[in-house]
Amino acid sequence: MRRIHIKSNNFSQNGGFCSKKEQNLRFLEQNSRILKKGSNMDASAFDLYIKILRKELPIGESFDLLERKLIIGGRRASMFFVDGLTDGEKTQRILAYLLAVPAASLDGVTSGQRFIETALPFLDATVIEPKVRQGGGEKQAGGSDEAKAAASHESLQNHAAAGGDAPAPQAGQDGPPPLTREQAADCCNQMLPKLYAGLVPLLVEGLDRIIVMDCRDYPSRSVEEPDKERTLRGAKDGFTENFMENVALIRRRIRDNNLIFKAYNVGSVSKADVAVVYLKNKADMALINKLDKCLKAMAPAGGRQEPQDGEASRQAKLKKARRGGREILSVADQSLLERLLAALGAANRLNPFPKVRYTQRPDIIAAHLAEGKAAIIVDNSPTVMLLPVSVFEFFQDVDDYYFPKLTGNYFRLIRIINFFVILFLTPVYFLLVEYKDFTPEVLQFFVPDEDFAIPIFWQFILLEIAVDGLKLASLNTPSSLGMSLSVIGALILGEFSIDSGWFISQTILCMAVVALAAFTQPSIELSYAMKFGRILMLIGAEVFGIFGVIGAFAVYVAVMAATNTISGKSYLYPLIPFNGAALKRLLFRTKS
């Protein structure tokens, strides 16, 4: 490869030293005459990228952020990576090949895409394209050759006048023009979230674009069956905190061209990876478009596709983004859901009914995608959100379809009966005790004859709190002490509490049945929505008797009927509005 030696004169015509600005302008004039058409030595993009990245990245300050300088085919190059998120073995093989690239093979290579095609034997490598035009618009660089040449010359003049290190311009019109500062900054802004996600950016002197290689290797646990959603039969795999593994688990089950994974980057600090999954021939595309619009609005301020229209406008947009809660996804999927509901106008802090269904099972997601649902995957979360959902869809579980129809319908019937047990058992028992004269003879044995120190109402309220306290305690108890907690809980809520006169055996039995019935529901969120309805009916029974129970239940149903799914449909669909075929499919296991 023919090398071109570039010389610059640091002296002015009167014999004195030139200022930095004069040196850079003279450097441009001299080197524009020296460089010949077809030269590879266009270092303008490389120098701009390196200058921006070394200024933005805390290299040397944060020990896990590193830069590896290389010589590839006689050209300067740099790789940036995050130690701990990069596959060392894969990166080492790429380095070994790149260091062996002969200089002659890069003659005339000025395009990042061309470099990937000829000198980078890696399957998952892409280039980052600027999203702003040289004039400051949103679209990618384009236009006539004359416009490109004029913009390139203006870019170099501005770069030199600003006092920066003057890059060598590209002569001729065969290669791409040097980038403006705005375009280089835009490419770097797009690259930074990828770098912190574990991808490896590669910058090579003479190339117009940043090359990004997917060499990620996240620390993660193995794929295993989720504890909350175990099955008697069927697949034993489950989602993990690894974003790409979750994508692969769904793709493995649906091998169809219509399966779409649409990726987003959300949050101005967390910059979390999010994907909307759907079958484009079955999904509600109006809902998909709404989700697309909302997730794009949550993009990081630096990565949003908006015109660069001045510092004041940029600061205003940043403040607006912060007011909208885009700074960080603190609890991953739940934080994202709250922002989505707010953006779609479906947020209601006093409404306990879940708008999405959470699951850690890829087979459940695959089955619902085939029915026209959409799913949202969030990086660092082992649960995937399924939407839209109505209340009847929470009665379905994966075991219903891994067994014959008769057995599957039996499981679903138990689940539906337990729904009413969870809601009504304690309020109805309270009415039986309070209105002994109206209690049927067959149930008289269950009504206590002896006196009790604490009223039945307060016994149930205390037991509600105690059961939830035990659940929270079990979550924070080491597994080695789990048996001890069970023994202590049984003693406190069993023999000791009865002997001390705090509770009677009937109230403890009722709460035990309610607690066990709650575990038959696949959704924890819906279980707590039923719990709040049960407590509301208990309060109504205490204040107004049987009419209080009826009134509280009417309020509960009214809130449910007034609730809409994320897509805007009724939460009670297909009961309201009525759709017999759909209701039959949700209440009964009709087909696999």
Q: What is the pLDDT of residues 272-291, one digit of tens each?
A: 889 999 999 999 999 999 99
DSSP letters for 76-124: EEEEEEETTSB-HHHHHHHHHHHHT--GGGGTT---HHHHHHHH---SS
Mean pLDDT over the full length of the chain: 80
Alpha-carbon gap, residue 38 to 206, rounded angstroms? 11
Q: Which of 32-41, 51-60, 186-195 has the lowest mean pLDDT?
A: 32-41
pTM metric for this prediction: 0.76
pLDDT value of residue 492: 67
pLDDT for 590 equals 79
> Any idea which residue has 């019937």 for tokens?
413
pLDDT in tens, 150-195: 343 344 344 433 444 434 444 334 445 567 888 888 899 889 988 9
Number of neighbouring beta carbons within 10 Å of residue 44: 24
Report d(CA 526, CA 416) in Å as an integer: 13
Which tokens in the block code for residue 512?
Answer: 């035990």
pLDDT higher than threshold 90 for residue 349 = no
The C-alpha R_g of the chain, in whole angstroms, comes to: 33
Residue 505 CA to residue 448 CA, distance in Å, equals 9
Q: Locate 473 and state its tokens.
A: 């305690």
pLDDT for residue 540: 95
User: How many residues can be counted in the chain?
Assistant: 592
pLDDT digits (tens, 9 = 90+) for 111-142: 999 999 989 988 889 999 888 765 555 544 44
- What pLDDT, on the 0 to 100 scale, is given for residue 135? 54
Token couple for 160:
């030199």
CA 192 to each of CA 81, 185, 216, 351, 423: distance values in angstroms, whole numbers, following the listed order: 10, 11, 14, 39, 51
Provide the pLDDT for residue 310: 47
Q: What is the pLDDT of residue 409?
A: 93
Q: How far apart are CA 509 and CA 496, in angstroms?
A: 15
DSSP 167: P
Lowest mean pLDDT among 41-55, 219-233, 418-432, 549-563: 41-55
Top-confidence residue, 274 or 44: 274
Contact between 86 and 218 under an 8 Å Cβ cutoff? The reply is no
DSSP 3-state percent helix, strand, coil across the chain (nearest 5): 50, 10, 40
User: What pLDDT is recorded for position 447?
Assistant: 84
Output 34 or 501, whichever has higher pLDDT: 501
According to DSSP, the residues that pair with 114 across neighbouring strands are none
Q: What is the pLDDT of residue 15?
A: 43
What is the percentage of the chain residues whose pLDDT exceeds 70? 77
Peptide bond into 574 cis (omega under 30): yes
**How is residue 57 annotated by DSSP?**
S
Which phi and psi (to 5°) does residue 245 adopt? -65, -40
- Is 532 in contact with 422 (CB distance < 8 Å)? no
Q: CA separation (Å) from 307 to 132, 304, 310, 389?
A: 7, 9, 9, 37
Q: What's the rounded Cα separation, in Å, for the pair 37 and 482?
A: 76
Q: What is the mean pLDDT of residues 430-437?
A: 88
The predicted structure's pLDDT at residue 513? 93
307 pLDDT above the threshold of 50 = no
Do residues 55 and 67 make contact, with C-beta atoms less than 8 angstroms apart?
no
Q: Is the pLDDT of residue 462 over 60?
A: yes
Beta bridge partners of 67: 80
C-alpha span between 208 and 187 (Å, rounded)? 11
- The pLDDT of residue 339 is 86
pLDDT in tens, 215-238: 988 877 888 999 888 888 888 999
Q: Judge whether 301 and 321 are in contact, CB under 8 Å.
A: yes
pLDDT band at residue 258 under the 50/70/90 scheme: very high
What are the structure tokens assigned to 259, written together? 């399966």
